[in-house]
């Protein structure tokens, strides 16, 4: 039986965190043929509007490319199949940042120098967001972001729009879940890479205010051949639960060696562990049945099923040539849904403002996504476009559910605890929802 613990998380951005960006979820996608150049998946021409997905397609962050494109391509498919925007279709270009700020900046600068009809950017990845987001804003293109960094909680960038909560909220939810389960002695096992570190401020805040005790703090340098000393350190501390995130290869090695030393304590993973390659690696390290009983991951909650979901799923199938298979893995993937909804809002803002110029349509994103008296609720681009063309005001509710941006263009949703295996986040896999009221009281 599913236990519902709460309703909504709204002001967790008060956490005093200054973390780097992380954006983690399921899947991999094929990279561009050259890691050193911007690869155009569909080159814009004439009046075609160019939406760029700028993120890691190769390197340690490569799975993020799959997550973002699983939202962007279906959105563009749905927009184009509804007649486009003001007589213009969308296309998608991609830029591989490799997850490396030093590589990404010149690549993106080169891309901006040659791109035509660029109206928006989806991305970037966690390792490059702090460097690239100001550049995107400078070029006055709408930014559809899944970035987790608290640096963007009170962002000055007016072209920035974020439909997911910052990563420290995910970390605080982990601490809240552990407290509910009665775990008092906690071990932290996190990779030293940038994206694995971003939940830690929320965890540390939650541990302090919920009176938990960190008995071991293990840092894993990615892709080492062995972590035996780290595993021994953790075992000697006798934790009741392990909070964790690291890359899949490191996770498989570490937890395999930990299992050789004895029983593995319950694992509480952040949203970065809700990813097929990570879960498969750890399940393979000490057995799927043991992993299934001892693992829970915290992640943004999928929205309740509405008419938007059938449109979302149809768009995924329509864009299947450009989306990592199996398609079903994305049906309730909150980060991909956020991208899909963000690009859809952007297109509806163009229709509402009667302009494809970002400085003109950008403020309309909040207008088409927020509720209000007299507004017509729509669940797809096609329905929103039709209503706007008939002179109506709209409230777009997408696959992510209702999104009402705050003054900093941020939106905060629920966090849920889910179990393994994750084919998609159906209700049978959700163990509980972390309560907003308790999180806010903790803050």
**Are both 356 and 236 inside the same structural domain?**
no
Measure the CA–CA gap between 431 and 416, rounded to whole angstroms: 7
Residue 329: give the domain boundaries. Answer: 38-164+306-360
**Are both 55 and 195 inside the same structural domain?**
no
Specify the CATH number for the domain of residue 352.
Answer: 3.40.50.2300
**Are both 274 and 420 inside the same structural domain?**
yes
Q: Which of 360, 381, 396 is the last residue of a domain?
A: 360
Instruction: Specify the DSSP class assigned to residue 398.
Output: B
Domain assignment present for 219: yes
- Does residue 157 carry a pLDDT above 90? yes
Give the DSSP letter string of 137-162: HHTT-EEEE----GGGTT---TTEEE
**Are both 260 and 331 inside the same structural domain?**
no
Per-residue model confidence (pLDDT) at position 199: 83
**Are both 144 and 192 inside the same structural domain?**
no
What are 190-226's pLDDT values in tens digits? Answer: 999 877 787 888 899 899 989 999 999 999 999 899 9
pLDDT (average), residues 425-432: 71
**Are both 318 and 291 inside the same structural domain?**
no
Domain assignment present for 373: no
Per-residue model confidence (pLDDT) at position 44: 38
pLDDT (average), residues 22-31: 32
Measure the CA–CA gap between 55 and 93, rounded to whole angstroms: 11
Per-residue model confidence (pLDDT) at position 422: 66
Q: In the predicted model, what is the mean pLDDT of the chain?
A: 86
Name the band, by pLDDT with cuts 50, 70 and 90, for residue 4: very low
- Strand locations in 28-131, DSSP E? 38-39, 49-55, 90-96, 118-122
pLDDT (average), residues 45-51: 81
Instruction: Specify the DSSP class assigned to residue 180.
Output: H
Domain assignment present for 391: no
- Which has the closest alpha carbon to 212: 259, 247, 159, 174? 174
Tell me how many domains the chain contains.
Answer: 2
SS3 377: strand
Greater pLDDT, 441 or 102: 102
Supply the pTM of this predicted model: 0.76
Domain assignment present for 259: yes
pLDDT (average), residues 259-288: 91
**Are both 171 and 151 inside the same structural domain?**
no
**Are both 142 and 49 inside the same structural domain?**
yes
Percent of the chain's residues with pLDDT above 70: 86
**Are both 321 and 293 inside the same structural domain?**
no
What are 84-127's pLDDT values in tens digits? Answer: 999 999 999 999 999 999 999 999 999 999 999 999 999 999 88
Domain assignment present for 341: yes
pLDDT (average), residues 147-156: 88
- State which H helix or E strand residue 291 sits in: helix 288-294
Give the tokens for residue 32: 């561009």
Q: What angle do CA 221, 291, 69 make, to 5 degrees?
A: 65
Domain assignment present for 390: no
Q: Quick check: bond before 315 cis, omega within 30?
A: no
**Are both 124 and 68 inside the same structural domain?**
yes
Domain assignment present for 426: yes
**Are both 61 and 199 inside the same structural domain?**
no
- Does residue 21 carry a pLDDT above 50? no
- Which has the closest alpha carbon to 59: 244, 254, 195? 195
């Amino acid at each position: 039986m599913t236990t519902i613990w709460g309703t909504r998380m709204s002001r967790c951005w008060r956490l005093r965190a200054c973390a780097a960006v992380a954006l983690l979820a399921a899947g991999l996608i094929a990279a561009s043929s050259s890691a050193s150049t911007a690869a155009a998946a569909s080159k814009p021409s004439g009046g075609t509007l160019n939406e760029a997905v700028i993120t890691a397609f190769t390197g340690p962050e490569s799975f993020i490319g799959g997550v973002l494109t699983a939202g962007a391509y279906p959105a563009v498919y749905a927009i184009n199949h509804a007649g486009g925007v003001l007589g213009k279709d969308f296309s998608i270009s991609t830029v591989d940042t490799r997850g490396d700020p030093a590589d990404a900046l010149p690549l993106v600068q080169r891309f901006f120098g040659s791109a035509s009809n660029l109206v928006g950017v989806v991305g970037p990845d966690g390792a490059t967001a702090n460097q690239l987001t100001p550049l995107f804003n400078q070029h006055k293109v709408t930014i559809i972001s899944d970035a987790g960094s608290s640096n963007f909680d009170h962002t000055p960038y007016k072209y920035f729009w974020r439909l997911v909560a910052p990563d420290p909220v995910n970390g605080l939810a982990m601490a809240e879940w552990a407290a509910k389960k009665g775990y008092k002695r906690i071990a932290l096992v996190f990779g030293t890479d940038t994206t694995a570190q971003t939940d830690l401020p929320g965890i540390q805040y939650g541990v302090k205010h919920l009176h938990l005790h960190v008995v071991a703090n293990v840092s894993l340098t990615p892709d080492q051949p062995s972590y035996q000393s780290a595993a021994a350190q953790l075992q000697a501390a006798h934790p009741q639960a392990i909070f964790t995130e690291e890359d899949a290869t490191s996770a498989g090695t570490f937890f395999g060696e930990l299992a050789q030393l004895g029983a593995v304590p319950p694992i509480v993973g952040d949203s970065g562990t809700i990813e097929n390659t990570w879960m498969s690696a750890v399940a393979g390290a000490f057995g799927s049945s043991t992993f299934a009983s001892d693992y829970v991951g915290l992640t943004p909650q999928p929205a309740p099923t509405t008419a938007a979901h059938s449109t979302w799923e149809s768009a995924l199938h329509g864009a299947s040539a450009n989306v990592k298979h199996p398609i079903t893995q994305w049906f309730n993937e909150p980060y991909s849904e956020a991208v899909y909804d963000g690009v859809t809002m952007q297109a509806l803002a163009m229709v509402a403002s009667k302009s494809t110029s970002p400085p003109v349509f950008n403020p309309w994103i909040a207008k088409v996504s927020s509720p209000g008296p007299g507004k017509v609720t729509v669940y797809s681009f096609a329905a929103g476009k039709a209503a706007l063309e008939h002179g109506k005001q709209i409230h777009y509710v997408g696959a992510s559910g209702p999104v009402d941006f705050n003054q900093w263009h941020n939106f905060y949703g629920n966090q849920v605890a889910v179990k393994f295996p994750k084919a998609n986040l159906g209700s049978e896999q959700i163990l509980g929802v972390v309560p907003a009221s308790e999180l806010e009281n903790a803050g």
